[in-house]
Amino acid sequence: MQISNLPFGVTDWSTIEPTRHPGEAGHALWRTQQFGDIRVRMVDYSAGYVADHFCEKGHILLCLDGELHTELRDGRVMTLRPGMSYQVADGAEAHRSRAPAGARLFVVD
């Protein structure tokens, strides 16, 4: 990744209005900033959240709070706890998430 034309800046995530994204169960609240081609999000999954689709977008994701279960289309399941991250390229491995007790994530894509 090359980051260019991005001056130093500070983001106060508490001031960014969230958008609600329903899942198959529960919902996600996204606070989103766009920096050129780079999307950066603080995402809160409600307890019981289950994604309604397999995602093929690449991400770098850091679990800040709670527990995230990410299922790959081939059936593998990865569990992230606070301080753990994953990274996946665009189109590499379709994945979907669930958060039985809720989770807070920091996502760059």
Domain ranges of the chain: 39-108
Q: pLDDT at residue 88 above 70?
A: yes
102 burial type by CB count under 10 A (0-12 exposed, 13-18 middle, 19+ buried): middle
3-class SS at 83?
A: coil
Structure tokens at 102: 């809720």
Cα–Cα distance for residue pair 90/75, rounded to 1 Å: 19
Q: What is the mean pLDDT of the chain?
A: 95
11-53 per-position pLDDT tens digit: 999 999 999 999 999 999 999 999 988 999 999 999 999 999 9
pTM over 0.85: yes
Question: Which amino acid is located at 37 in the chain?
Answer: D
- Bridge partner residues of 39 (DSSP): 34
Let me know if domain 39-108 sits in CATH 2.60.120.10: yes
